[in-house]
Structure 1
Amino acid sequence: MDPLAGQSLIDEEYPFWLRAPFRLLTDVTQFRKIDPWSLEIDQLITRFVEEMKLRDDINFPVLGRAVLSSSILYRAKVTDLIKIIEQTDEKDESLDVMGFDIPEISPSYHLSQRPVSFSELVFAFEGLLKQ
């Protein structure tokens, strides 16, 4: 008997977000096992959303957990960058001199008095991912 055949059956028993690579976004115990710099987080979260739409398996709590996890991973990267900047000898250098191009991000607020459809919500979420 092929041991991998049993593995594929096991994999199909669980939702896709509990399998690699998406498990990184939904299981916080996985954070310690990976280096955030080894991931392209934006591509992973985009694939996650595409997979949800493809399977027509939209689960907002899981999607929220994935977004939170990706923001935690991004924060870890930013913290590492700040440590690197603070350790440089020339502390008076600005980010422009160091070659960092950090665009300004303005908050976008949308107040609506009507219900928002799921497709509008997904469209807005995809727009945020592209920023």
Structure 2
Amino acid sequence: MEELQVTEESLLRVIIEKESWEEIIYYIVNIEKIDPWNVDIAKLCDGFIKFLRRAKELDFRIPAKVVFIASILLRMKAEYLMMREEEKIEEKEEEIPEFFDVRPEMLKLAYPVRRIPRRQITLEELIIALKKAMDVEKKKKERRESLAQRLQRQIDFEEDIEKRIRMVLQKIEDLYFKKNKVEFRDIVDKWERSEIVKNFLPILHLEKNKEIRTEQLEFFKEIWIYLTKKQGS
């Protein structure tokens, strides 16, 4: 009995460490004697949950994608049982056990698998459907991460431009009180395209906020910068 327990623990460890939900399903199909040509979704789901509960008891970390598959199987089980009822009953969703550490709304949001066909479903068809669900979730995650990155870049840019605006204004003030007007060239440390743009954008912001005004007597000639009365006072 002890040898059997060690073997089970070793097998659980290998499967969990590989993070292979497919191997978990194959393992359950084998030990539960589920027909691969006519998968009993309810039995498979119960076996999957039992497997994860056992893994949790052994202090194994359960990968997020395995939890995701569990949430899909629970929804599929609920639908499968409803279809077996002769009369329509009010749908009751089965909750994910608390030990999964997953938000309850995940059960509703992360279920992109098509409805179970009324005919029997094979193990191969089920695996394909679950893989498609994983692909959809992966793309959703990538879009969320991409959006988060764009937002962070925007925040970083806004913080950076605000700092540069204050720095440019300080330069203008220091020069302005010496000679009452400032050439744009005076505030650019190095006359290179990147430095010109880096300093010109703050000038546009400052003028828009009426902290300065600019004057260019001829196109492509020098830009003169003046502090407004409000700023100069």
Structure 1 length-normalised TM: 0.39
Structure possessing the higher radius of gyration over alpha carbons:
2
Larger strand fraction of residues? 2
Structure 2 length-normalised TM: 0.25
Q: Which one scores higher on RCO, CA 8 angstroms, separation ≥ 6? A: 1
